[in-house]
Structure 1
Amino acid sequence: MRDVGLVVNPIAGMGGRVGLKGTDNKVEEARRRGAEPRAPSRAQEALEHLREQPTDVELYTYGGVMGETEAIAAGFSPAVVDSPDEDDTSSEDTRAAVRRLVEEGVDLILFVGGDGTAVDVAETLDELGAEVPILGVPGGVKVYSSVFAVTPRAAGRLAATFERTETREVNDIDEDAYRGGDVTTELKALAEVPVGDEVQSSKQIGGGTVEALADAVAGDITEDEATYILGPGSTVDAVKAELGFNGSPLGVDVWRDGELLARDASESDILENLGERNVIVVSPIGGQGFIFGRGNDQISPAVIRRSEIEVIASKQKLDDIGVLRVDTGDPKLDEELRGWQRVRVGKFERRLLKVV
């Protein structure tokens, strides 16, 4: 029998598809833009796969949308240890939930959120002096820490089956600086995390010279009449610079026929500007390999299904990551995207890399 404690940050990830690059201090604005909660469905997906595992699991959780609702929807009869005082939950509610789960003596804390949630969980454990392992279900926009499973399904499987743990980093960034284009990670804590192939690495910042690649990609774009959805990151930002406009380095920009149609676009902005033929240009995240589902939620399943995909990267980055990953929030689409993907590494050269 394994006792698993569940904590869901129900507002995590709400800012992604509406272009806010996070939800810290932006919940009301995200709602005004039409954002829908993302973490609850991710939690339910993870729990459904946890329930399918052969290991007997006793699930402990916080009340309402911080775990109880999702657990019942996934078929569990959870032990509810306490509940938040307000409908609008906060960082302190996450920390209070962790303290109660530690009191219950759980073997693992499974949390759903992003890096901010990971910090709340890890710092609370540190304050308590508790050595309880943690595992993140990726539900936020920023997922820089190496304490997350690569997908909700992977989190459910690993929570039931892991046999040992290792020390990993919890990192976070300043979201206000992030929105302004400044990305600097800060080590916030260390945590014990289950060992498994489906736990993601820490995101690497930086990337090396990509001028020749950017020049080649931009040259092809200028000769094409398609609508281009240009993702975030330094590699694609170099393409934007070659096209002659100041793009959003950490956002998504839409370009067609020499004109910037939308800068720092939300999902709805992108959908409004799609044409007859659309091409998504993305670069995998260094150290992790994600091309969808980390920092570019605006490029939603609805956008992907109407577009071609052009993955670009330096050779060194590909050597470092080994595989590509996707976590779109749509399991059927993720499955369709898996397999071999051509990645452009130069003017003419392409390499095959597997999407896993």
Structure 2
Amino acid sequence: MSKPVFRLGIIVNPFAGIGGALALKGSDGAQIREKALAMGAEKKANEKMAKALSILEALNGQFSVFTAAGEMGESVCASLGIPCEVIYRPSSQQTEGEDSENAARAMCEANVDLLLFAGGDGTARNICSVVGDSIPVLGVPAGCKIHSGVYCVSPAAAGQVVSQMIAGELVSVMDAEVRDIDEDAFRKGKVIAKHYGEMRVPAELTYIQAVKMGGKEDEALVLDDISAYVAELMEDESDTLFVMGSGSTVGAIMEYLGLDNTLLGVDVIKNGELVASDVSAPELLNITKNKPSKVVLTVIGGQGHILGRGNQQLSPAFIRKIGKENMMVVATKQKIHALDGKPLRLDSGDPKLDEELAGAFTIITGYKDKVLYNAI
């Protein structure tokens, strides 16, 4: 099976930052934008997105682009000769925050692996209101106000991180805060910044050796961290059935929870209690019918399989029912590092489903520690 083409979403707020050079203290609001343009302000957001995208030139053919029409992304792609598919068209040339929201909604529906956007804190707020933590995002700084943690330090830095993801390198993912200030108060000399939410962002991998390679004691500590985090997530979803796949990492979670585990089978738990052990595929479909469910998987075998090796009970019908967003993959960084850059493997028994699932997966590698890694 060939390597899947990385699905990159691109959104540009073409009016981001136009009030900065003219000391208008921001760009939010139609009146401010009109005033800035009347004063000769230049729109720089597409120029900054171009700096990020130019880093990807050597990776042509390895990624596909989904974007919005005109200055919201299509034009910068055309200027760089990057083929793109337009999946949102604003109703007016003067775009508004709702256009960023609508474009972000279209990106989610297109199942992009990463949404790269250019703007400021207002744009981040708009996108966060739609995306939340459903897909990874990364901001190219182009606004007057950059208080949010979802932005890279520069457009070129954003391009470097995206290039790592497209190349299939191990890239950490973290929750980053979205903040914005009250522009009216700012113009009166007051800085009032508010928290508006968090989004998942890829971060250039520093690979800090908190996980020391090779020692069984260190591996046990990492498994304990993974288990503690998964247990915490389970507590937050008390009505959800958690289907526990096979493998030693999932087994460590079951041991942490004090529950009997079928090492080479599939178990089901809810509210910290064992509901069913060593279930078959038909039993699993029956148990989870019309109930909120998630599955906990790990990397099986030297080839990096997450489906199709030791967990055939997770039928294509079950995986389709819960969706990729409810597949929780857990693994130590040691295990992922041992893949030596090879992608994770999907072998559900349904080639069409494997194709739909292919792309970036978020893998829990420690306590509130995650990485992004590709699967085919």
Name 1:78's counterpart in structure 2. Answer: 84
Q: Give the percent of matched residue pairs that are identical in Structure 1 and Structure 2.
A: 37
Name 1:11's counterpart in structure 2. Answer: 15
Name 1:154's counterpart in structure 2. Answer: 157
Equivalents in 1 of 2:81, 2:148: separation in Å? Answer: 29
CA distance change for structure 1 residues 61 and 32 in 2, over 3 Å: closer, same or farther?
same
Supply the AA of the counterpart residue of 1:12. A
Residues 213-232 of structure 1 aligned to structure 2 (within 5 Å): none
Aligned match for 2:130, one of 124, 144, 162: 124
Residues 10-89 of structure 1 aligned to structure 2 (within 5 Å): 10-25=14-29, 26-53=32-59, 56-89=62-95
Alpha-carbon shift at residue 53 of structure 1 (Å): 4.5
Q: Is the 8 A contact 1:171 1:186 kept in 2?
A: yes
75-84 vs 3-12, which deviates more?
Answer: 75-84
Q: Is the 8 A contact 1:57 1:160 kept in 2?
A: no
53-62 vs 177-186, which deviates more?
Answer: 53-62
Name 2:288's counterpart in structure 1. Answer: none
Q: Is the 8 A contact 1:8 1:40 kept in 2?
A: yes
Deviation digits for residues 35-67 of structure 1, max 9, x if unmatched? 010101111111111233488211110111000
Alpha-carbon shift at residue 73 of structure 1 (Å): 0.8
Equivalents in 2 of 1:24, 1:66: separation in Å? Answer: 16
Equivalents in 2 of 1:50, 1:35: separation in Å? Answer: 29
CA distance change for structure 1 residues 171 and 197 in 2, over 3 Å: closer, same or farther?
farther
Equivalents in 2 of 1:64, 1:174: separation in Å? Answer: 29
Q: Is the 8 A contact 2:172 2:205 kept in 1?
A: no
Q: Is the 8 A contact 2:55 2:163 kept in 1?
A: no
Q: Is the 8 A contact 1:171 1:187 kept in 2?
A: yes
Alpha-carbon shift at residue 125 of structure 1 (Å): 1.1
Q: Is the 8 A contact 1:55 1:160 kept in 2?
A: no
Alpha-carbon shift at residue 160 of structure 1 (Å): 2.4
Alpha-carbon shift at residue 195 of structure 1 (Å): 1.5
Equivalents in 2 of 1:166, 1:181: separation in Å? Answer: 33
Supply the AA of the counterpart residue of 1:19. A
Supply the AA of the counterpart residue of 1:6. I
Equivalents in 2 of 1:6, 1:79: separation in Å? Answer: 10
Deviation digits for residues 95-138 of structure 1, max 9, x if unmatched? 00001111110001000000000011111113xxx610110000
46-55 vs 157-166, which deviates more?
Answer: 46-55
List gaps (5 residues or longer) in structure 2. Answer: 166-170, 207-376
CA distance change for structure 1 residues 54 and 166 in 2, over 3 Å: closer, same or farther?
farther
Residues 201-212 of structure 1 aligned to structure 2 (within 5 Å): none
Equivalents in 1 of 2:85, 2:137: separation in Å? Answer: 19
Supply the AA of the counterpart residue of 2:182. D
Name 2:221's counterpart in structure 1. Answer: none
Supply the AA of the counterpart residue of 1:30. A
Name 2:115's counterpart in structure 1. Answer: 109
Aligned match for 1:135, one of 118, 130, 138: 138
Q: Would you say how many aligned residue pairs link Structure 1 and Structure 2?
A: 195
The answer to whether structure 1 residue 145 and structure 2 residue 151 are counterparts is no
Alpha-carbon shift at residue 197 of structure 1 (Å): 6.9
Aligned match for 2:204, one of 182, 190, 196: 196
Higher-Rg structure is: 2
Q: Is the 8 A contact 1:2 1:55 kept in 2?
A: no
SS in 1 for 2:125: helix
Q: Which of structure 1's runs of 4+ aligned residues deviate more than 3 A?
A: 52-55
Equivalents in 2 of 1:148, 1:52: separation in Å? Answer: 23
Supply the AA of the counterpart residue of 1:65. E
CA distance change for structure 1 residues 55 and 135 in 2, over 3 Å: closer, same or farther?
farther
Alpha-carbon shift at residue 156 of structure 1 (Å): 1.2
List gaps (5 residues or longer) in structure 1. Answer: 199-356
Scaled by the length of structure 1, what TM-score is found? 0.53
Name 2:174's counterpart in structure 1. Answer: 166
Alpha-carbon shift at residue 164 of structure 1 (Å): 2.8
SS in 2 for 1:18: coil
Equivalents in 2 of 1:134, 1:48: separation in Å? Answer: 18
Deviation digits for residues 71-92 of structure 1, max 9, x if unmatched? 1112201111121111110000
CA distance change for structure 1 residues 95 and 8 in 2, over 3 Å: closer, same or farther?
same
Equivalents in 2 of 1:183, 1:197: separation in Å? Answer: 33
Supply the AA of the counterpart residue of 1:34. G
